[in-house]
Structure 1
Amino acid sequence: MTYLLKGGTVVTYDKDKKPRSYKSDILVEGSTIVKIEKDIQPPPDVEIIDVTDKWITPGFVDTHRHTWMTVMRASQADWLLTEYLVKNAWHVQGTITVDELYIGQLTGCLEALHSGVTTILDHFHTAHSPEHCEAALKATVESGARVILCSARQSAPTSITPDLKMEFGLEPDATNWQMAKMKEWATKDGCKLSPDGRVTLGFAYDQVGFGLPIEVNQQILKQVRELGVEIITAHVVGGPHIMLWNEGGLLGPDVVFSHCNVLAHRDEPDDEMWAIMKKHGVGIGSTPEDELGMAHGNPVAFQAVERGVKCGLGIDCTSINSGDIFTQMRIVLQWDRGRRHEKTLLSKVDPPKYNTHTSHEAFRLGTLGGAEAINLSHQIGTIEVGKKADLVVFDTDSANLAGSLDPFQAIVFNASNADVELVMVNGDIVKRDGKLTKVDWKSLAKELKVKAKGIRERFSTEKLDAIWSESYDTSGGPRW
């Protein structure tokens, strides 16, 4: 298809990585932006979309999301990270059926698209069987989102005692079939998991630092890289993981660490960990809403920006957090401002004339910064001729935006998915006139509720609270 978006205001970073908003038409042919000019004359067989006075932005980029967890959105929003690990990761997650996974993955991708999130680095950590993997892939492709599907090399525990001693009886078999599945997917079409290349293969690997010999980690990651997988992701909250990856020779520009809160208080200009991240071109997926609420530690996004380390924003668990990047942009910006203001107040020095970081920079983290972190800035993250047509159109007559002047400030501080009128991914319209185009959402919503209810019936709030209480020491901390 060929589309001409006519009369809009382009809101983006330019090729010199400067924020810019300007009036222009945009011509899209197939999956690509081919012309950005005023008063483009419509070519034959083009659909003209009137976006007069509306804002057109790049699609937002999520650098860390567990997409399937939308099916578990119930009573998790108040959980700590330790509580989440015990209740969900080590109990509920291992029981998720193929059908539950499928509906969670599909609706999770659609939720992202509804909010203008066109690209997701999906840390898919429920690869419990070949059938689970195929269901996740099927749902992802059907959604129309651009996704790096990072299948995790792990298995669920087969038995857990109250003091959290776990056995992984299926681990040897899981290693074999999961790596075989990686090879199958990687060699089918050069790591392309959809015909149009919208869904690609990544790898999630959290085993470094958890007792495996370094030789095993080196062997697995070498094998994955030889398959042509372009993104490897892992969780880093605290602990020595960054140093262990470095000592094992495992780091590279294809690595994206989520969170990295261990870096939050390392403010020295020559800090070794920050220097390692920059030297090896490692990206960070910062998830401020999740990190602040679950006690991961403090977000590091703007510290990364100041040090020249690639960084974008993400959602993390869709069972707990909002599914949009608007929330992440405003939280991370206000968090950074708050910590700086607190230092000023406590040190009793004169306040600064201006805030250190701006809405423009938060917008960059949600678009171009995310694209840089996952090594896709040559394709997405800005609106430029030759890049993929991943575009979001905002209704500037909405109750949220009608009074706004600066689009960067308004998108960061005022916008919601209610203002997202149209979303295009790879030149394909996935949301139009405020409604998703690929699915009958009402039917999917009914199915989502049924599957979510089934999970809650297996693991009621009372049952999960009992599990948590058993594993929690009366001295005031978890037993591990």
Structure 2
Amino acid sequence: MGGPATDGSAGAVVLRGGTVLVMDADRTVLEGADVLIEGDRITGVGPSLEAPEGAREIDASGGIVMPGMIDTHRHMWQTAMRGYGADWTLTQYFVWYYLEHGKAFRPEDVYAGNLLSALESIDAGVTTTVDWSHGLQTTDHAEAAVDALEAVPGRFVLAYGNIQQGPWEWATDPAFRDFVARRIDGGGLYGFQMAFDVTGDPEFPERAAFEVARELDVAVTTHAGVWGATNDDGIRLMHEHGFMGPKNIYVHAATLTADSYNRIAATGGNVSVSTESEQSAGQGYPPTWVLRNHDIPVSLSMDTSVWWSGDLFSAMRTTLGADRCREHLEAHAKAETITNCHLRADQVVEWATLGGARALGVDDELGSLEVGKLADVVLIKNDRSPVMFPIINPYGHVAFQAQRGDVHTVIVGGRVVKQDHELVDADLRRARELVGQTVDHLRTSMGEEAWLAGMHPEVPETTLLDNPYTYTEYKSASTHGR
């Protein structure tokens, strides 16, 4: 994989005297410890480390030092519409983006959304983000998406998709292959995936896209187990045709049966859980409670800021809440009481860091603060906040107490990209201007009445609610006619 551009002149950096969450196999916590970075790698973790002469020193005392967080599923292109769909259901999201106004996004609008989202990621301590970019109607849109990601010093994985065209069409288009050759192979992104959904059509038209992914040797990320849209038939078809393996990432996976979870577990797949999304939009109950029972690896993601927050603090918090709520409800239904929580704070912190690295197949490089790994490091410290002391249970503090405003320093590949709560060399004014232009374009193209109505949309009676995909006539039986 590639990585963020660095000028190679950053030299050594040492974070001094923090509470260090190593995120190794033993979930080691070091009190009053240092993290030494030389070049783009971690070269020391422990107390009172000797740093090279001239090293940049960052006071981490009173703070928590942890690996950079990893978001495995974010529709970055939609960030220019932050909060617009706060009261949407998943159906209204489908109608707006898939059937009606998603087609209005120009390449420059994808650029604006991606730029803002990329800045938002590193500001929140998310050093690696998967851009689940299913708004790439043309390769010009894809060019714009990559341009934006390469303009921000984080790690970004482009997951290429197009909700306006069948994956068997765009994946086999020579323009797509040309784009991959020009912008992905040897480019500045950290990684590349193909992003498409499997409807369950028994003809399995998605086979062609899977074959392209196999030829390119790239991972497939797919919205699976989404109520009314993708469910067990899609998983079964993938498995029967030999397209399930360790590189697959199943997003949501909230409405599957034990048979599908067994297939995912047996083939080594990973699930990206977007708890804020699942518990609000309607994909199904956030599935960590059942994934734990099947021993399926989990990573966390925020989905889209059209609704929700763009940080993984919220993801950790809501995931703990949803999992524990389900566990209590299941027990109460049997007249029992839960006396010990099975999902712990350290587990969700791992899902937000090392879990994401495992999902991307880069846990040998990222996800923990161990000597030799890439130096993606986050310092959570806020001396102006009464919430940042005392730090008694550091995992619990990260999961329940801290928030994005407490992110003091962010380092990506040895490069300090945020310090003293401020992004370094970030042109927020330009990002604001570009996003403003996108909002103006959408309001103008839709008309003011439709723009305002879109925040509380009515679903057209002609809409087929069990098939949001405009590129196929296939209708799932999962909701139709029930």
Q: Same fold (TM over 0.5)?
A: yes
Q: Name the SS for the 1:10 alignment partner.
A: strand
Q: Which residue of 2 aligns with 1:314?
A: 301
Name the CA distance, whole Å, in 1 between partners of 2:293 and 2:406: 31
Which letter maps to 2:90? L
Indicate the SS of the match to 1:128. coil
Q: What SS does the aligned partner of 1:439 have?
A: coil
Q: Would the alpha carbon gap of residues 101 and 10 (structure 1) be closer, same or farther in structure 2, given more than 3 Å must change?
A: same
**Structure 1 equivalent of residue 237 of structure 2:** 244
The one-letter code of the counterpart of 2:237 is L
1:124 to 1:212, Cα distance in 2 relative to 1, 3 A: farther
TM-fit CA distance, 1:93: 1.4
Compute the displacement of 1:128 (Å): 1.4
Gaps of 5+ in 1: 158-167
CA deviation after TM superposition for structure 1 residue 115, in Å: 0.8
Please state if 1:135 is matched with 2:123.
Answer: no
Q: How far off its partner does 1:12 sit?
A: 3.2
1:104 aligned residue: 113
SS in 1 for 2:222: strand
State the 1:81 CA deviation: 0.8
Give RMSD over aligned pairs: 2.6
In structure 2, C-alpha distance between the alignment counterparts of 1:234 and 1:45, rounded to whole Å: 47
Structure 1 residue 210: Cα displacement: 5.4
Deviations 1:137-156 (A, max 9, x none): 0110111121111111x352
The separation in 2 between residues aligned to 1:223 and 1:120, in whole angstroms, is 23
- Give the direction of change, closer, same or farther, for the CA distance of 1:461–1:473 in structure 2 (3 Å limit): farther
1:234 to 222, 236, 253: 222
Other-structure match for 1:461: 452
- TM-superposed deviation, 1:80: 0.7
* SS of equivalent residue, structure 1 residue 469: coil
- Structure 2 residue 387 is the aligned partner of structure 1 residue 400: yes
- Give the CA deviation at 1:458: 2.6
Q: Is the 8 A contact 1:87 1:467 kept in 2?
A: no
Q: How far off its partner does 1:129 sit?
A: 1.6
What secondary structure is seen at the aligned counterpart in 1 of 2:36? strand
The residue aligned with 2:178 is 181
Give the equivalent residue in structure 2 for 1:205: 196
Contact 1:8 1:23 in 2 (8 A): yes
Provide the residue aligned with 1:299 in structure 2.
286
Following the alignment from structure 2 to structure 1, what is the Cα–Cα distance between the partners of residues 464 and 177?
Answer: 41
Equivalent residue, structure 2, for 1:5: 15
CA shift in 2, pair 1:404/1:94, >3 Å = same
Distance 1:186 1:301 in 2: 36
Cα distance in 2 between the residues matched to 1:181 and 1:212: 31
1:217 partner amino acid: E
Distance 2:236 2:17 in 1: 51
Tell me the residue number matched to 2:259: 272
Q: Is the 8 A contact 2:70 2:127 kept in 1?
A: yes
Q: How does 1:26-425 map to 2 (within 5 A)?
A: 26-152=35-161, 154=162, 156=164, 175-181=172-178, 183-185=180-182, 188-189=185-186, 193-194=187-188, 199-206=190-197, 208-209=198-199, 211=201, 213-214=203-204, 217-229=206-218, 231-236=219-224, 237-238=226-227, 239=231, 240-263=233-256, 266=257, 271-349=258-336, 351-397=337-383, 398-425=385-412
Take 1:421 and 1:141, find their aligned partners in 2: how far apart are those partners? 23
Conservation of the 8 A alpha-carbon contact between 2:382 and 2:388:
yes
Bigger mean CA offset, 131-140 vs 218-227: 218-227
Q: Give distance in 2, aligned partners of 1:433 and 1:112.
A: 16
Partner of 1:440: 427
CA positional deviation for 1:124:
0.8
Cα distance, 1:227 vs structure 2: 2.1
Change (3 A) 1:331 1:115: same
Range moving further from structure 2, 437-446 or 119-128:
437-446
Contact 1:141-1:199 at 8 Å conserved across structures: no
TM-score with structure 1 length normalisation?
0.87
How many aligned residue pairs are there?
449
- Percent identity between the aligned chains? 27
**Residue in 2 that maps onto 1:163:** none
Q: Distance in 1 between matches of 2:283 and 2:443?
A: 26
